[in-house]
Structure 1
Amino acid sequence: MDSLDVELFADYHQIHLSDEGSTGDLSGAWTDQAVVDRLAVVDDAIAIGTSVNVTVAVRVDVLDAPPADDFTDYDHVVEGSMQVRSGLLVVMGCTDYEPDAVRIQVPVGPVRVRAASSNLAEAERLGIDSDEAPQTMERLRVQVWPAPSGEPVVWTRWQGESGLRQDL
């Protein structure tokens, strides 16, 4: 299993994952439902919504098979599918310069991406100051594994700073 830990600026409240060389346009994928679900999907790219518009801690794990369901450890969990034709997944903030973005090797073909967000109450409470310390920073774990394409699924929905979450 390959892993990547990085801190990214979540400008416009989003982190992008795309196939190396992707021409997918995520701007039109942000429907009202995608905003609520915190996931916008096109053929070869995915945007993950964040609670804050500052730096977030991102961990990407590349797996051989679907991960265990550990949804209770996270505030918001969503997953979707994308195509990876190059074998490289570009991981970046929405406005980062793509040639300088980090990359991680992933299986070629359709992959499933699960995004699990945590520490959202503290990050939302502090807003623009949330990235000043690791204990207050929003955390995003992204798991990627080979799988047939499928519709997006929200496993756990964050209901805001109140700390409410809804398991679906």
Structure 2
Amino acid sequence: MKLNLKFATDYRQFYLNDKNANGNTGSENFWSESAFADKLAIEDGVLGIGIENDEGKVECEFEILNSKSLIDNFTDFDHVVEASLKIHSGILQIIDCPYSEVEMETEIENGEYRVRVYSINLNTAYEENPKDSYKIEIWKEAYSDRKVLKRFED
């Protein structure tokens, strides 16, 4: 399944989460200093995805894969980070911040998943018409810690 999404959010973030997530996005541990630097926050059942532009514009390609991503060359991306997400409800959502408007919702098998977020054109984020965009891939994989595969240095 592959979707292209366009939506608005605030506070330079949006969420990918299990519909019945227990995580607290308001916790002081959610957007820790390392989470900000890595552009990805983690709580139980929810990932906070940091965007670069401060206008709240999100252009995002989202794809559920049958196996681990085959992308191993990150030349076309500014920042690449991945983390694990556990699904309990059978429903995966993308929601905005802070209103929790559901931007995408799909059924997905319960279990542990790896989520990779690619950030593109981050150096245009503060121009009059920001062109930063995001690509999210998700596949079944055993839990492992957050890992930055390519870091954006602005």
Structure 2, unaligned runs of 5 or more: none
Compute the TM-score of the two structures, normalised by the length of structure 2. Answer: 0.90
| Paired position in structure 2 for 1:165 | none
Amino acid at match of 1:76: H
Amino acid at match of 1:146: K
Instruction: Answer with 2-11 or 76-85: which moved more.
Output: 2-11
Spell out the pairing of 1:1-168 with structure 2 (5 A cutoff). Answer: 2-28=1-27, 29-53=30-54, 54-68=56-70, 69-98=72-101, 100-124=102-126, 126=127, 129-130=128-129, 136-160=130-154
Distance 1:39 1:75 in 2: 14
Distance 1:42 1:51 in 2: 21
- Residue by residue over 1:54-110, the C-alpha shift from the partner in whole angstroms, topping out at 9 and shown as x without a partner, is 212011100011112231111000000011112221102222334x43212333101
Aligned residue-pair number: 150
Compute the TM-score of the two structures, normalised by the length of structure 1. Answer: 0.83
Distance 1:17 1:97 in 2: 11
Distance 2:45 2:62 in 1: 17
Structure 1, unaligned runs of 5 or more: 131-135, 161-168
Amino acid at match of 1:8: F
Amino acid at match of 1:119: N
Distance 2:108 2:133 in 1: 21
- Residue by residue over 1:105-156, the C-alpha shift from the partner in whole angstroms, topping out at 9 and shown as x without a partner, is 33310100000000111123x1xx33xxxxx421100000000010000011
Q: Is contact 1:107–1:145 with CA below 8 Å preserved after alignment?
A: no
Q: Secondary structure of the residue that 2:125 maps to in structure 1? A: helix
- The structure 1 segments of at least 4 consecutive aligned residues displaced by more than 4 Å after TM superposition are none
